[in-house]
Amino acid sequence: MLGIAEAQHEEVEPQATCLVVNQLTCSLVGQTAILQVAPGSRAAALYGKGEVTVSYLCHYGLNPAFQDAMIQGGMVITGRDVNGEARMVELPQHPFFMATLFLPQATSVPETPDPLIVGYLQAAMV
C-alpha cells in the first residue's frame, strides 16, 4: 500500500530494520476490552453502535511510527482501545478490507455471528 519494499512483521523477521508490525508493549492475549468504533466507518455501520466489547489473542500490532504514513496512504483507523491505540483499520475504497487485533470469530456463533463476519460474507457475495 505504501510501497515500502523492506516492510516486515516482527513475528516473521524480528531482526528487520523496517518493522511496520511490531510486538506490543503489553500482550493482549486473553484480554477482553472495549473498542471505540469510529462514526461513519464500515465497522460502525456493521456493528450499529460506537462501542463494542472484543476478545484479543495477539502479541503484535501496528508500529506507531508508521501510523501517520498508513493514514496518508488511505488506511483509516476505525477502532481504538480506551487508551486510543489502533486496534482496527479499514481501507474505505476497498470492497472489504478490515484488519483487527481482536478475533471476531472468537465470539461468533451461527445464531449470533459477529457483524464483521457477516459484512465480509456479504461483500464476498457481490
Give residue 91's pLDDT: 94
Set of cell numbers at residue 60: 503484535
8-state DSSP, 102: B
Report the candidate in 33, 89, 24, 32 with the shortest Cα–Cα distance to residue 58. Answer: 24
Strand partners, 50: none
Which H/E stretch holds residue 19?
strand 19-23
For the chain of 126 residues, list the mean pLDDT of each consecutive stretch of 10.
84 91 81 91 96 88 89 93 92 92 88 95 92
Statement: 8-124 belongs to CATH 3.10.105.10: no
Long-range contacts of 64-67 (CB under 8 A, 24+ apart): 66/2, 66/20
